[in-house]
Structure 1
Amino acid sequence: MTYVIHLVTGEDLRTMTGVMSGAVTNTPGLGAAQQTLSDSMIADGLGQTAASEATSSIASAYAVAYPIGVLGVIILLIFFKAIFKVDLNHEKELLDNEGKLGTGAIRASYLVKNPAVYGRKISEVTKDNGDKFVISRIMRDGELFVPASDTVLKEGDKLLAITSQDSEYLVKILFGDEIEMSYREWDNQDAPLVARKITVTKSSITGRSLRDLNVRSIYGVSVTRVFRSGVELVARPDLYLHVGDSLLVVGPEDSIDKVAGLFGNKAASLSHPNLIPIFFG
C-alpha cells in the first residue's frame, strides 16, 4: 500500500516509509528501514554523510505520523462509541454479571419431589431460570438419557444438574432435595452415553450463543460446561462462545461426533494465527 501511494502521488519513497512506520507506531520497522537504507547507500559508495541524511528523512516522517497514528485510534474509538451509543457502565455491569453467573460450576444430583413440576416440560420449568443451571442427564426407572427441552418431568426422576454455587439453592427449590450419587453411577451405565470435551476451532462459531446453536434439540446432546482460559463456566443458553473454548458435551457417541464437526474440534488449527483480522487491525 505504501508503494502504491508512492507511485500515485510521487512522494519520496523514504518519506512514505517513515509515514507508514509512524502510522502503525512501528518503531522496530523504522529502525530496520533506516539500517537497510544506510547499508545499501554505503555499499553503493555514497558515503556515511549521505546515508545519515537519507535516514534522518525517514525519522522526520515517522515523527510527524506517529502522534496521528496514536490519536487516530483514540478518536475512532470515541467516534464509534458515540455513533453506536455504547454505555460503558452498562457494558461493565453486563460483564461483571456474566462472571458472577458463570464461574464456580458444580455438579450435583437431585430427586424430583416438587409436585409443581410433575408432568411439566423442562422448557416450562426452566423458562425464567434456565440461565442458572443445565440439566445434563435424567435417570428414570434405572434408564439414563439426555433430556430434551420437551422432556416431561415425573415424580422420582433423578437429575444431574450443572449450576453455580450461588444458584444451587434455586435448583433445590425447583426440583427437590439434593441426593448422593457418585459420578460412577451417572457415567457407568448401560445407556450409550459418553462425555467428551470438544474445542471450538471454527471462527464462524465465535459470537454465537448456545441458544442460537440449539444443539440439544438438533443433535440430542447436552453442553454442560464451558472451559475458558482455565475458568469453568456453567453452559448457560445466553453464553457466547469464542474460538479456543472447550465444551463438555454429553450424549450418544454418534451425535457427539456430529457436534464435534459443528464446532471444529481441530486443536491443530489453534496454532495457526488468523492473519487477515490482524492485517486489518
Structure 2
Amino acid sequence: MNIQAILQEPLVLLFIILFIGSLAGEAKIKGISLGMSAVLFTAMIFGHFGYEVSGVVQNLGLSLFIVAVGLQAGPRFFRMMRTSGVIYGIIGLLTILTAAATTLVMARLFDLSPALSIGIMSGALTSTPGLAAALEATGDPLASVGYGIAYPFGVLAVVLFVQLLPKVLKVDLMRDLQRKTGPLRHQKSPEVMTIEVTSDKAHKRTLKELEVGKGTSAVISRVIRGDRNIISLSDTVILKGDKLVTVGLPADLKSIREQLGREVNLAFENHDHVKLRKVTVAATDMVGKSLRELALRRTYGVTVTRIERGGFEFNQHPGWRLEQGDILTVVSSEERIDEVEKLFSKRKLETTNVHIFSLSLILLLGILLGMIPISIPGLGTITLGVAGGPLFAALIIGHFGRLGPIRARFFQPSNQIIRDIGLVLFLAGAGTTAGAGLADVIAEEGLKLLAAGAVITIVPLLLGFLVAVKLFHLSMLHSLGALCGGMTSTPGLGALNQIVDSEDPSIAYAAAYPFALISVALVSQVLVLFL
C-alpha cells in the first residue's frame, strides 16, 4: 500500500494533519509560535495537493469550539457590562468595528471578494472565531486563504507594537501606571469599622428593615451586645447601644456610620478574635454552588464581604455561583475561618466534569437557533449559523451556570479540552478546503492581500490606543493590555508581560477579550451584507 492510498483514508489523513500541525505549532522563534494555527497551514498544504477532510468534521469542530468559547466568556461577559470594566469592553468593540470599516475600504480599493476580505480581517485580528464566522457567512473556502495570509503579520505587528511603542514614546510603564489608576485596578482592601448604634430610628428594627449596606460593599459581620457576640443575619434585631462590626470600603462604612450612629474603637481580640482572610475556592464540589446555598453565615458564622474572579473584585451577592479559583474575603473568628478554608480547599480526584447530556443539549439548541432567519431592514436576511447560534446559546447558559437539567459550569480543564479538540478539527477541515485554491489566489493577488492585512492590523491598533489614552485617560499599560484583548492577541499579551512585572495588562486583556471575541464573530457575518 503506497502513501497516497493511505492518505485517502479519512481518519489517517485527519490525524496526520493534526500530528504535523501540532508539532509545527510548538516550534518557537524568539518566543513566538503559531500554536494551533499551524494546523490550518498544514491542512492548506494537504488541500493544495487534493486531499480533503470531511465537512462534517469541520462543522463538528466548529460547534464544539464555539460552545467552549461561549461557556468560558458567558459568566464574565454579562457581569462586565454592569461594572466600570465596560470601558475596556468598549475598547475591544471599537477595535473590531474599526477593523471592519478598514476592511470595507480595502475590499473596495483592491477589489477583493467578500470571503477574502473577511478572511483577511480575521487573520489580521488573529481571530479563529472570526474565521469560523466568515466561512459560515460566505460559504467560501477563500476566507481561510485570506486568514492564512494575514495571520503571521497580525501576530508579529501586535507583539512589536506593545514592545516598541513605550520605547518610542519614552514612557516608564510602571511610573505611568501609578499616575493613572484605571477602572479595573484592584479596589482598596475592605476595612473594619465598629459602629455603635445611637439612632432612635434603628432601635428594635431588623437589619433587613434598616437595609443596612444594601447595594454597597459593606456587610455587618457581627453584633456585639454587652459581652455577647451575635452572628448578624437579616432578621437580627438591632438595639441602641449595640456595636456593629462592619466590613467594607471606607466610603460605604462612612455612609452606614452616618445612618446608625458613631464609630468606636474596639479591640477585636477581646471579641471573638474577628479576622479578615482571603480564601481560595479549590474544592470541586463547591463549583456551581451559590453563597445562598452554602449558608456560610448560618452554618459556620462566617461572612463573605468580597469576591475576586479573574483579577476583578465584586460585592458579594447571595446568588453568586462559585467557580474554581474564586477568592473570597471572609470575616469571622480565626477558628471559624480555618474551618471554612478547609471546606473550600478539599479536593477530589476529579479534574474534569464534562456533562455529555448538557453539552449535547447546548449544541442542539445553538444549532437550531442558528437556523432561524434574522431580517435586517435594508440589508437582507442572515442566520447566526453553526458559529453564531451555539455562541449565543453558550453565552446565555454559561451566564446562568445552570438552566433546568443543563449544567454549564465545566471545570477549566474540561472547557480547555472541548475547545482545543473542536479548534483543531475545524482548522483541519477549513485548511484542506482552502488549500485547493491557495496557489492561484496567492499568485494573482498575493501583494494586495498582504497590504490589506497589514493596514487592517495597524489602523485598529493606532485608533484603539488613541481612544484608550486620550478619551478614557488610561495608563499606557492598561491601554496596551486592552488592545491585546481587542485584537484577541495572546502572543501580544505574552510580550507585554515579559517587559513588566505586573498583572495589570492581563486584567485589561481579560476585560476586553470577551467583547472582542463575541463582536468579531457577529461583525464577520454582518459584514457580508456590505461587501
Answer yes or no: is the 8 Å Cα contact 1:130–1:237 preserved in 2.
Answer: no
Q: Distance in 2 between matches of 1:95 and 1:28?
A: 39
Q: CA deviation at 1:203?
A: 3.3
Match of 1:35 in 2: none
CA RMSD, 1 decimal:
4.8
1:242-257 counterparts in 2 under 5 A?
A: 242-251=323-332, 255-257=336-338
Match of 2:506 in 1: none
Change (3 A) 1:134 1:73: same
Answer yes or no: is 1:93 the counterpart of 2:177.
no
Larger strand share, 1 or 2: 1
Answer yes or no: is 1:29 the counterpart of 2:23.
yes
Unaligned runs of 5+ in 1: 1-5, 33-55
Q: CA deviation at 1:241?
A: 3.3
Measured against aligned partners, the alpha-carbon deviations of 1:133-184 in whole angstroms (never above 9, x if no partner) come to 211222222433432332211101111212234534431343223x1425xx
Change (3 A) 1:231 1:258: same
Answer yes or no: is 1:205 the counterpart of 2:204.
no
Change (3 A) 1:91 1:18: farther
Measured against aligned partners, the alpha-carbon deviations of 1:224-243 in whole angstroms (never above 9, x if no partner) come to 34455666654443544332
Counterpart code for 2:327: S
Of 269, 272, 280, the match for 1:191: 272
Q: Distance in 2 between matches of 1:150 and 1:236?
A: 17
Of 142, 145, 153, the match for 2:238: 153
Higher relative contact order (CA 8 A, sep 6+): 2
Measured against aligned partners, the alpha-carbon deviations of 1:78-115 in whole angstroms (never above 9, x if no partner) come to xx79xxxx9x9965422438989x94333322221222
SS of equivalent to 1:110: strand
Match of 1:181 in 2: 265
Measured against aligned partners, the alpha-carbon deviations of 1:36-93 in whole angstroms (never above 9, x if no partner) come to xxxxxxxxxxxxxxxxxxxx8884259977xx69x9479947xx79xxxx9x996542
Q: Distance in 1 between matches of 2:309 and 2:322?
A: 9
Match of 2:89 in 1: none
Match of 1:280 in 2: 418
1:75-154 counterparts in 2 under 5 A?
A: 76=66, 92-96=80-84, 103-104=187-188, 105-126=190-211, 129=214, 131-154=216-239
SS of equivalent to 1:280: helix
Answer yes or no: is 1:16 the counterpart of 2:14.
yes
Q: Distance in 1 between matches of 2:24 and 2:311?
A: 38
Larger helix share, 1 or 2: 2
Question: Would you say how many aligned residue pairs link Structure 1 and Structure 2?
Answer: 230
Q: Distance in 2 between matches of 1:275 and 1:249?
A: 27
Q: Distance in 2 between matches of 1:278 and 1:57?
A: 22
Q: CA deviation at 1:200?
A: 0.9
Q: Distance in 2 between matches of 1:91 and 1:114?
A: 36
Q: CA deviation at 1:215?
A: 1.1
Answer yes or no: is the 8 Å Cα contact 2:196–2:264 preserved in 1.
Answer: no
Q: Which moved more, 1:141-150 or 1:114-123?
A: 141-150
Q: Distance in 2 between matches of 1:58 and 1:223?
A: 53
Change (3 A) 1:166 1:19: farther
Change (3 A) 1:164 1:73: farther
Match of 1:215 in 2: 296
Q: CA deviation at 1:127?
A: 7.3
Change (3 A) 1:208 1:75: closer
| Percent of aligned positions that are identical | 22
Answer yes or no: is the 8 Å Cα contact 2:219–2:248 preserved in 1.
Answer: yes
Answer yes or no: is the 8 Å Cα contact 2:222–2:231 preserved in 1.
Answer: yes
Measured against aligned partners, the alpha-carbon deviations of 1:240-270 in whole angstroms (never above 9, x if no partner) come to 433223334334566445433432356xx99
Q: Distance in 1 between matches of 2:233 and 2:288?
A: 24
Answer yes or no: is the 8 Å Cα contact 2:221–2:332 preserved in 1.
Answer: no
Scaled by the length of structure 1, the TM-score of the pair is 0.59
Unaligned runs of 5+ in 2: 1-5, 27-41, 87-182, 352-410, 420-531
Scaled by the length of structure 2, the TM-score of the pair is 0.35
